Chains A and B, each alone.
Chain A
Amino acid sequence: MSDIKKIKDDYIDKLNSENNIDKVNNIKSELFGKNGIISNEFKKLGSISVEERKKLASDLNNIKDELQNKISIKIQEIETKEINLKLEKEKIDVTLPERDIQIGKIHPVSQVIDEISSIFSEIGFSVEEGPDVENEYNNFTALNTPDNHPARDMHDTFYLDNNKELLLRTHTSPVQVRTMLKGKPPFKIIAPGRTYRSDSDQTHAPMFHQVEGLHIDKNINMGHLKGCLNYFIKEFFEVDKIKMRFRPSHFPFTEPSAEVDIGYEIKNGKIVIGEGDKWLEILGCGMVHPNVLKNVKVNPSKYQGYAFGIGIDRLGMLKYGINDLRAFFETDYRWLSHFGFDPLDVPSNYRGLSR
């Protein structure tokens, strides 16, 4: 008995001072291998008396457990030490720059179009489009603006032929004409898109963007027009209250016609929309003229409704504090990076129009 106890104590000492994993493994086989010291002690059990055997077997098992336990703790200890040492060596400077991030952006005009579409989608409008090149009829005549009408002078038109038959649309209103000609009432659409006038200075660009709105049904009146635009403006500028003024005006294709102003004030050199005692004109609208309805084969005694046209670029300028309209179209990398929007910022009702 004392023999094995001594063996045990020796090996425990040995293990305590050992730091090499291979040597620990050697010790393990020295003790428990085929001809290992402990293994051999077990083999001896067969040759002794039953009484002694019982006692010795129990002692041996205890020693075996103790040693094996010690060995596995030791191995774990050494391994942990080695890993820690390795990790220590592998430390890197995580403040070094990451790999290139390519940040793309959505142009403010596109973002504003998506915002507008999202808002009108909420109240049941669908999006229609029309061609940039229009014929004279759709752009003017069908919209109750015959050739001899002075209202045509308000549109500096780009023409594609000398007969002035083909032109670049001066507004998005021809989409009304196309939509109504190809379908049957009711109609409830918005039509965003490019528009063109041969005008170029600080506040005018030869190309700009408009969104047209049209709602025709049996009993749509000016109250609905007011309600629709009031809702839109509030949602678009993301304010709870908005001061808004409807003012009589004239467009050949609507009657009665109105221009809409919103209140604003200048605070610290910036435009603040909604309150204040100054007025800013932002859109034109009215009840679709019976002549227009007749031109598109809709019976004006059965159907009526409103239309509106809003300058998209200008809305964007007001909302996002952009000063120069011309910069929208000059593709300056710095401007696009600054005023552009993250592509994941998709305007929607449930997630909010903008961040």
Chain B
Amino acid sequence: MKFTVDWLKNHLETKFNNNQIIDKLTNIGLEVESFESSTSELDTFIVAKIINAKTHPNADRLKLCDVDIGRDKTIEVVCGAPNAKNGLLTVYAPPGSIIPKNQMKLSVSKIRGVTSYGMLCSESELLLSNESDGIIELKNNKYENKIGEKYFKNTSEKVIDLSITPNRPDCLGVRGIARDLSAAGAGKLKINKKSNLTYRGNQNINVTIKKEKAQGCTIFGSCLIKNVTNKESPKWLKDKILSLGQKPISAIVDITNYVMFDLNRPLHAYDADKVDNEIIVRSSSKGESFEALDNKKYILENDMCVISDRSGVLGLGGIIGGTRSGTEYSTKNILLESAYFLPHSIRKTSKQLNIDTDAKFRFERGIDPLSIEEGLIKASELIKQICGGEISNLDVKKIENYKKKIINFDPFLFEKTTGFSIENKELIKILEKLGFNVSKNKKILKLTIPSWRPDITQPIDIVEEIVRIKGYEHINTSEPIKTRLKPTLNYYQKLFHFLQRSVASKGYLETVTWSFTDSKINQLFKENDEEIPIVNPISSDLNVLRNSIFPNLLFYLKKNLDRGFKDISLFEIGPAFKGKNPGDQLTVIGAVRAGKVSRLSWNDKERIVDTFDVKKDVIQSLCEAGIDKEHIVIDDKTPSYYHPGKSGGVYQNKKEKNALAYFGEIHPNIIKKLDIKTEGLVIFEICLDYIKELKQKIKDTKSEYKFSDFQKSERDFAFIINKNFKSQELVNIIKSVDNKLIKSVQVFDVFEGENIPEGKKSIAVNVTIQSEEKTLNENDLDNVNKLIISSVESKSGAKIRS
């Protein structure tokens, strides 16, 4: 909502200066976006200096000038003026400027093969004189310090631009703003002058509001103005329209716009001679069409509120008029409309047709239904004043009467809500200045709501009115109440926190990527999940919700590889979507590692990252988050985007069905498809939702402390075993020989090839044996050894290496 201070003063008697007005507006909830001169087409012309003028390489008469326009760099402009020379101060017009003389818009162009960025101007081009022989020469002493500044002074009045919240349609007119300011003590609202218009004859175009279920209009007021002379608006009116940032069109159109912004009362003027017999306000039928004033043809759906005559649709009520009945300079007789349209009807229609106009914006928020006559009278007066003519009696048709809204308000609610109290007298004064009618019934105030305040429907709205006008600075700053109702984080939130920092501590950089991704990459990772398209994506390559974190991680991994990074560790913790309903999502960590370990190390051998690097990262992170390593089970079933032979799944214990993590190399086909160029690429993922909450809190597990002081012994075994036999299985067989005695089993060598039969491998393990009751003698140890060998051989088909 834009207006000038002058305009405001038409309605407000105030001693406030501009800055006080600006502060007051912000303090009562009418946020000031800006307070500056309205922009002018002449703003782009700036003072510039020719640094170097040399001859154009392809044309002797043209010059190529390096021009200082007050920026970091000079720019190149081709110029045909004979007086262009080094050191000359002149006026420069950048691309996009409109040259006053011919109204041409400048663009970047090539002149004889050299690109020219803008133009140096002559006096005649700027309509300063007829001098067209050469560019303007500015006086050094006056302009030397002004390079880069605007050449033309902007003399227009400063414009206040308010950002009006959707609940305040009344402040979409200058009078409403003045009313709020007066309530807040910034002055006195001027009383509208009584009109002394004389009316002649009746409005003889019959108006009917059809009684239909979907009728979007409840009141239609109108008058006829005969024998007008439409013309250009006078300067004062043009200036008002310009200050709104709009273009003056003709006196009649400008007047209807002026009244709309002045009183927040949209009006529409028809050329009465173009209306076919009568006005019918009705709901449209699907397929009807009309050409609107924005020069577009609209094809209507059912139940849109239209103003029509016998020939068809004239316009969309409260949204936009049609060209068929539009006013022109030649218009002689006008039908002026001032109506009330229902907000939801306006909103629905404008959404369906995608139209946005100032009238629509206002009706959608709710116009004062009692402002019909006021609008007609104010506009008629102005039309008579500027265009002449005779005004008919006002004709107001309605299918519904406005009902007064009354709220019973207990002033205690104010104190209860805001925490501070205010005298009843002051409270009533504020409300009355805002237009409320107040009567008292014991402690309760009976308030009649002003008809221009559709937003006020219940007592809390009254509290807001009083506190915003009184000023939020009166609200106390209470000490925070520290009472706690439950722990800050629950188990899974703590887990999130632990794992996030645990993974990062392994050398991974945390990233945050979009929750959406490119369906083409997503489908490589979505497994059996349904694809979840976004109906209105921000771009076609972010068109689905991600089923996995990897599509984005790999996309950005590739970008970083392309930047020249070789060794990259990245992870993200966030949602992966499994369906389109609320809650169909899992919290997942996705991590990638690319490149080498110990690259260019002077003492360690460099090697490519491998599956066991990420296996370590994932297992260690899980252990740090409290999961017992002893119970973790690994298998080799992994999603299809993993390398089928070099990847594994991690289970919290042998009973769990869902893998809580996967790790391994990514499938070579995917690397190829995504065109990722790196020496090595391994990934892991942890699904936090699949981690089972631990049964014991750490305070309970710490209390039990057992250890043995008896001597421990270590024995090494090497078995020849089937190549596919899993080491985890072998370790479990050995442990199960005697869970109490066997303290640990460590695989320390795996070997295939020479001296080992085809299809077999050699696994060497180191077993630690220790009793909690006594020191074991040779005999005891021999027995355990024998048991280990026989168990392994019988359960796995392995042979001990002799």
Contacts and interface: CB of A to CB of B under 8 A. Distances in A.
Contacts of A135: 582
A257 B420 CA distance: 16
Interface in A334-350: 334, 336-337, 340, 343-344, 346
Interface stretch (A38-46, A81-89, A97-105): A97-105
A122 interface: yes
B479 A344 contact: no
9 contacts: A105-B510, A106-B501, A122-B482, A133-B581, A166-B582, A227-B479, A257-B464, A333-B509, A336-B510
A355 to B, nearest CB: 15
A186 B577 CA distance: 32
A102 B571 CA distance: 14
Interface string A213-249: 0010001011110111011000000000000001111
A100 B468 contact: no
Given A105-B504, A106-B501, A161 B580 contact: yes
Given A124-B484, A194-B575, A104 B504 contact: yes
Nearest to A300: B460
A140 B385 CA distance: 49
Nearest to A224: B478
Interface stretch (A7-15, A59-67, A148-156, A264-272): A148-156
A21 to B, nearest CB: 34
A310 to B, nearest CB: 16
Interface in B565-580: 565, 568-570, 573-575, 577, 580
Interface in A309-331: 328-331
A26 B516 CA distance: 85
A54 interface: no
A228 to B, nearest CB: 5
Contacts of B583: 131, 133
A222 to B, nearest CB: 5
Interface in B593-610: 597-599, 601-604
A150 B582 contact: no
A223 B476 CA distance: 5
Interface string A245-257: 0111110000111
B255 to A, nearest CB: 27
Interface in A77-130: 96-97, 99-100, 102-107, 109-110, 114, 117, 120-127, 129
Nearest to A101: B507
B582 A131 contact: yes
Given A148-B348, A194-B515, A336 B509 contact: yes
A296 interface: no
A126 B486 contact: yes
Nearest to B29: A248
B660 interface: no
Contact of B597 (A100, A134, A149, A330): A100
A330 B552 CA distance: 10
Interface stretch (B13-21, B164-172, B223-231, B233-241): B164-172
A159 B473 CA distance: 40
A339 to B, nearest CB: 10
A149 B488 contact: no
A148 B351 CA distance: 10
B480 interface: yes
Contacts of A228: 480
Contacts of A230: 477
Given A194-B575, A248-B468, A131 B585 contact: yes
Interface stretch (B35-43, B145-153, B387-395, B537-545): B537-545
Given A223-B478, A332-B563, 14 more contacts: A100-B604, A104-B505, A123-B480, A186-B485, A206-B538, A207-B514, A222-B419, A230-B477, A248-B29, A328-B512, A333-B509, A333-B560, A336-B510, A346-B501
A143 B163 CA distance: 22
Interface string A145-181: 0001111011000111110001010000000000000
A198 interface: yes
B780 interface: no
B695 interface: no
Nearest to B469: A248
B556 interface: yes
B534 to A, nearest CB: 5
A118 to B, nearest CB: 8
Contacts of B516: 206-207
Interface in B469-499: 472-473, 475-490, 493, 497
Contacts of A97: 601-602
A123 B506 contact: no
B464 A256 contact: yes
A150 B511 contact: no
A298 to B, nearest CB: 14
Contact of A150 (B347, B477, B480): B347
Contact of A287 (B417, B473, B479): B417
B463 interface: yes
Given A104-B505, A124-B484, A194-B574, A250 B29 contact: yes
B581 A256 contact: no
A250 B169 CA distance: 13
A55 B404 CA distance: 137
Contacts of B761: none
B740 interface: no
Contact of A221 (B416, B511, B533, B577): B416
B312 interface: no
Contacts of B504: 104-106, 343
Contacts of B31: 247, 249, 259
A-B residue pairs, 5 tightest by C-beta? A102-B507, A248-B29, A223-B419, A250-B165, A331-B556
Interface in B315-350: 343-344, 347-348
A97 B556 CA distance: 30
A304 interface: yes
A148 B343 contact: yes
B29 A117 contact: no
A333 B568 contact: yes
B417 A330 contact: no
Contacts of A109: 512
Contact of A223 (B477, B503, B506): B477
A78 B27 CA distance: 91
Nearest to A330: B556
A133 B481 CA distance: 33
A227 B515 contact: no
A168 B582 CA distance: 9
A215 B26 CA distance: 27
Contact of A258 (B472, B480, B601): B472
B514 A104 contact: no
A186 B575 CA distance: 29
A125 B477 contact: no
A123 B478 contact: no
A129 B583 CA distance: 11
B535 A162 contact: yes
A256 B468 contact: yes
B585 A133 contact: yes
A47 interface: no
Question: Which of A188, A222, A290, A334 has the largest number of chain B CB atoms within 10 A?
Answer: A222
A72 to B, nearest CB: 35
Most A C-beta atoms less than 10 A away, residue of B364, B515, B580: B515
A337 B417 CA distance: 47
B610 to A, nearest CB: 15
